[in-house]
Amino acid sequence: MRAETRDGGEGGIRTHVPDFSDHPISSRRRYDRFGTSPCVPILAEGLARERFEATIKPLFRTHRGGGLESATDNTRIRPLSLDRPPDLIEGKQVKLLFIAALIVSGAALAAEPRLTIQSGSKTVSFTLSDLLKRPGVRTVAVSADPSYAGQARTYRAVAAAELFRGIEISTSGTVVFKCLDGFSGPLNASDLLNTDPQKSIAFIALEDPNKKWPPLKPGQSATAGPFYLVWQNPEKSNIAREMWPSQLAALEVTTDLPSLFPKIVPKSQDKNVQAGFTSFIRNCFMCHTLNGQGTSQLGPDLNIPFNPTEYMGEKYLRHLIRDPQSLRRWPQSKMSGFSPRDLADSELDQIVAYLRAMSGQKAQ
């Protein structure tokens, strides 16, 4: 993180934190005579009293003439109240308070991860430390992890069905997952809550803060944690790659899929179109909307104003799905290709058939 101090006008000093554009310290309210107007209030409002006592107070001591002074270099700060910043703070003092604010900021950013399950008006929240201590936590082996290039991996995990105990949910219902990066999509409740070993079983993998998982991409720090939905024997229930949401944040119980998103349901009863609809939900709907309906907007809508079978043609659409960079070079694209291992040729043909059918079924 970089910090810049600038002339704030009227004798003030501006302090800017450019690497956290959405952080209170660098919000639209950041510039005034005092400099970082959220800086002092956050000391009182952003932390519980005990955290203030442990992290901020040791930086200062009371000056016999009133106010505070640095506990390290005797630099005095004018008498101030935590609720009312002084009219002017000099450079060293801004630095001192800025350091204190960064400590607070870091503490806030390091808040313990939580996984939330919502069903109607009922919300249940689990902290990572609580889940790691649950007696039901076990070691789960994954033979080919799609988030880690098909590698075999093991995780400490809890069965997804266990977290839904006491929550009313129909087996025909839908559970919408939501991830920290905006990835979102529906899962069949019957798949997610299954405990029959003859079918795929879902687990919530838990990342131990002291034993971090590898980064998802080389040169980046983000891992699949702290919560990651993994499957044992995914082939038994035809669990697709996109049904392994990493950086999981929430699960929301909803109604059945046709009732939730009626505009994506094909009118055609052709078997290839119907099969393509199922494959579309499992492989594409986690990033794209169709006819304006869906839970994620990482990619464009695939029917309005035009369907890709209309403006791209089926030949090049297949190229795009298999290897997006082979059709148009865009290093920043978030779409990864679907190899034949992830999506069989027959399934790809069915998805194209579904999209072709939906091109004549546009709905705003």
CA gap 249, 79 in Å, rounded: 43
CA gap 158, 78 in Å, rounded: 54
E strands in the chain:
4-9, 12-16, 31-32, 35-36, 60-62, 68-70, 76-77, 114-119, 122-127, 138-145, 151-159, 174-179, 184-188, 201-206, 227-232, 248-254
* Size (the chain), residues: 364
Asked if 89 contacts 14 with a C-beta cutoff of 8 angstroms, the reply is no
Q: How many CB atoms lie within 10 A of CB 103?
A: 17
- Which residues fall within 8 angstroms of residue 316, CB to CB, at 6 or more apart? 327
Q: How many CB atoms lie within 10 A of CB 48?
A: 9
Q: Across-strand partners of 139? A: 156
Per-residue pLDDT of the chain (364 residues; tens, 9 = 90+): 333 434 444 433 333 334 434 443 333 333 333 333 343 344 434 444 545 455 555 555 555 555 555 554 554 444 444 444 444 444 555 555 556 555 555 554 458 899 999 998 899 999 999 999 999 999 999 999 999 989 999 999 999 999 999 898 887 899 999 999 888 889 999 999 999 999 999 999 999 999 999 999 888 899 999 999 999 999 999 898 889 999 999 999 999 888 889 999 999 999 999 999 998 888 888 888 899 988 877 788 889 999 988 888 888 888 788 877 777 776 666 677 777 787 888 998 999 999 999 999 998 6
Q: Which CATH code, of 1.10.3720.10, 3.40.1390.30, 3.30.365.10, 3.90.420.10, is assigned to 114-257?
A: 3.90.420.10
CA gap 70, 253 in Å, rounded: 52
Residue 346: CA atoms inside 13 Å, Cβ hemisphere, count?
3
Asked if 134 contacts 158 with a C-beta cutoff of 8 angstroms, the reply is yes
Tokens of 331: 């290093």
Task: Reduce the DSSP state of residue 318 to 3 states and report it.
Answer: helix
Helices (H), the chain: 39-45, 49-55, 91-109, 128-132, 160-163, 189-192, 257-260, 271-283, 308-311, 314-322, 324-327, 345-358
Q: Which residue has the tokens 């209170």?
A: 24
Domain edges within the chain = 4-109, 114-257, 261-358
CATH number of 261-358: 2.60.40.420
